[in-house]
Structure 1
């Protein structure tokens, strides 16, 4: 069980981490380490067709808040269109995924407890600039991704949905 945040956390852009993670620019605005494991908050920028594999988290609840653009969000057996202002709450152990359906989309992800950013750092790489990464020439190796995800309490069930 995570502990509540017991001290103020001020995270400025010059101390935040930026990753290129599975075709997304992910800026870790607040890490789990900063909050004593309570939560992490990431701002993401992705292009049309980018999506997460269908997966679930053993120990984390995930919330997506769409700032700009459009996503299709899958939660269990449900599928929803998610435009600006939409919030999707995705409880642990419920399969979920998203796919970007607009030219680009910007969205916040909140993971409670924190730690998802450690998986993103292991799979991704430090961003060379605060821009979208180059489009990947080939999709990620789903078997390797599944193996790495499992070490972080994430079960990958299927490839990303199509736009």
Structure 2
């Protein structure tokens, strides 16, 4: 019998998927949840305002792939900074320290975790948005990020953002 990675086909149009305000900044649109892919992966679109930065962190049990759809980021991976614009790709292998900063006015990217074991972290570090809620609003709350990381795993926070460049 052939093994499949998903119990059923997943079809979501542009803009479809659960919208969540992520306490680290940005709106996630969940395209494929881990349960839908039998744990193989988690995929969400991340819509972010300029200046958004992540702390230096690792994902000990998943590779994180970011495909930039719009805008530009600086990706800090394993001690080196890389500018990545629309159409560009960054892969942070599991356990490799990384962070990113949005350097354009806004940015949109697809974020893929393989396997999808980080979902509980993102889920508890975000809240649902209704269709009427404007994108990109809500308070950044690093305390909630830290609490979700401690409770759910999937991420190890190593320190503050490592960027010497000021955000725009």
Q: What is the TM-score normalised by the length of structure 1?
A: 0.86
**Offset of 1:42 from its aligned partner?**
0.6
Q: Distance in 2 between matches of 1:117 and 1:43?
A: 14
Partner of 1:92: 94
Q: What is the TM-score normalised by the length of structure 2?
A: 0.83
Partner of 1:78: 80
SS of the aligned residue for 2:38 comes to coil
The equivalences for 1:11-90 within 5 A come to 11-12=11-12, 16-21=17-22, 22-90=24-92
Structure 2 runs not aligned, ≥5 long: none
Q: Distance in 1 between matches of 2:66 and 2:112?
A: 7
**Offset of 1:18 from its aligned partner?**
1.2
Q: Distance in 2 between matches of 1:128 and 1:161?
A: 34
Q: Distance in 2 between matches of 1:124 and 1:148?
A: 9
**Offset of 1:6 from its aligned partner?**
4.9
CA RMSD between the two structures: 2.2
Contact 2:118/2:154 (8 A) holds in 1: no
- Does 1:133 find its partner at 2:154? no
Q: Deviations over 1:87-130 (max 9, x none)?
A: 00110000011110000001000000013232122011002336
Partner of 2:157: 156
Q: Distance in 2 between matches of 1:133 and 1:90?
A: 25
